[in-house]
Amino acid sequence: MNIDHAALRQGGAIALVIGAPCAVASSVLAGGKNDNNSPLVALLWLGAVAGFVVGAGVAAWLQRRAMPLVHGMICAGGTYLAVQLVFSVVRLARGRDVSWLGLFFTFTVVLFAGLVGGGLGGLLQKKGFAPRTRGAAQPRSGE
Q: Which residue from 6, 1, 103 is spatially nearest to 58, judged by alpha carbons?
A: 6
pLDDT over 60 at 142, yes or no: no
- The structural domain count of the chain equals 1
Mean pLDDT across the chain, nearest whole number?
88
pLDDT at 137 over 50: no
Q: Determine what percent of the chain is predicted with pLDDT higher than 90.
A: 63
Domain assignment of residue 137, yes or no? no
pLDDT, greater one: 59 or 39? 59
For residue 120, tell me if it sits in a domain: yes
Answer whether residue 115 is part of any domain.
yes
Q: Which residues contact 122 (CB under 8 A, 6 or more apart)?
A: 60, 61, 68, 69, 72
> Which residue did the predictor score with more confidence, 130 or 114?
114
- Asked whether residue 143 is assigned to any structural domain, the reply reads no
Asked if residue 95 is part of any domain, the answer here is: yes
Long-range contacts formed by 124-129: CB under 8 A, 24+ apart: 124/57, 124/61, 125/60, 125/61, 125/68, 129/61
Residue 67 lies in a domain: yes
Reported as a single tens digit per residue, the pLDDT across 40-74 is: 988 999 999 999 999 999 999 999 999 999 999 99
Q: How many other β-carbons are positioned within 10 Å of the β-carbon of residue 97?
A: 8
Full domain range(s) for residue 105:
5-130
Whether 87 maps to a domain, the answer reads yes
Check residue 30 and give its pLDDT: 79
Q: Is the pLDDT of residue 28 over 60?
A: yes
